[in-house]
Amino acid sequence: MSMLSAARRLAGKIAVVTGGLSGIGAAVAERLLAEGAYVVAADVSAPDRVPQNGAAVLDGIEPVRLDVAEEASVAECMAAVVARHGRLDILINSAGIGRDIPFLDTLAAEFDRMIAVNLRGTFLVGQAAARHMVEGGGGAIVNIASVAGVRGSRGRAAYGASKGGVITLSQVMAVELAGYGIRVNVIAPGPIETPLVAAIHGEAIRRDWLRQVPMRRYGMPEEIAGVAAFLCSDDASFVTGHVLAADGGFQACGISMP
């Protein structure tokens, strides 16, 4: 960890990171912990039974089971976190699924599932968290979208639509929640080396990305975590409704380079 990231900007804060047991979410969870927050990693892959007394805390991060696509699971999980810890200050929505499917071949059920997890899940968890934050007097929410939510990439009809929806949803949340002291921001990552990407990026897709990304590499989960920590810290106290590209220059790029 660099000297800069050693700052404990989040001391005493209670944070929930959805999708916090893998990839970007796991890196965010570790970074928030390093900055002083108490971190709950809420993930569908967490064991079904997690002791309520903190005994399951692993390396300082508490795993809890949450399916963001299930309304009851969201309500139960968020209420349990607030009951155990008394408040909720930070929410990072990183839970998500992704798959490339050509538009003409996308089944309605595949489209629905992508929307249910990525967009409706962000809505459900964000709404539940924000209701607790209103009671607590404020908070910070960071939603992980994607460059696919702002550009029409091949194969991303369902995924891109879900992420575009996350961006607009976040902007509305930022506007409506500003008066409650709740900031809502978005990170739009480019390609990041995670288990999700390892599963869906073949050699040809990797070549395409490296041609389009001016920095000529994939990002690392820790490079998204640093941005998330900034956005939920007081260093970003006047930042809300912002979509921050963390993509090696992808969105800035016009005519692609040789």
- CB 11 → ligand NAD: shortest distance, Å? 26
The answer to whether residue 180 is catalytic is no
Three-class SS state of 29: helix
| Residue 61 makes contact with ligand NAD by CB under 6 A | no
Closest CB to ligand NAD among residues 4, 161: 161
Q: Which of 64, 66, 169, 228 binds ligand NAD (CB under 6 A)?
A: 66
Residues in the chain: 258
Residue 251 sits in the site that holds ligand NAD (CB under 6 A)? no
Rounded to whole angstroms, how far apart are CA atoms 60 and 35? 12
Residue 22 binds ligand NAD (CB under 6 A) = yes
Q: Does 139 bind ligand NAD (CB under 6 A)?
A: no
What does the block give as tokens for 53?
């007394």
The residues in 79-98 that bind ligand NAD, with binding defined as CB under 6 A, are 94-98
- Nearest-angstrom CA–CA distance, 77 and 70: 11
Task: Give the pairing type, strands 14-18 and 90-93.
Answer: parallel
Mask 201-240, x = binds ligand NAD (CB under 6 A)? Answer: ----------------------------------------
CB 258 within 8 A of CB 223: no
> What amino acid occupies position 101?
I
CA dist 227 to 140, 161, 224, 231, 245, Å? 13, 23, 5, 6, 10
| Residue 146 sits in the site that holds ligand NAD (CB under 6 A) | yes
Burial degree of 137 (CB within 10 A; 0-12, 13-18, 19+): exposed
In the complex with ligand NAD, which residue's Cβ is closer, 23 or 248? 23
State which of residues 189, 225, 229, 233 lies at the interface with ligand NAD (CB under 6 A). Answer: 189
Which residues have a catalytic role annotated? 159
Which parts of this chain interact with ligand NAD (CB under 6 A)?
Answer: 18-19, 21-25, 43-45, 66-69, 94-98, 117, 121, 144, 146, 189, 191-192, 194-197
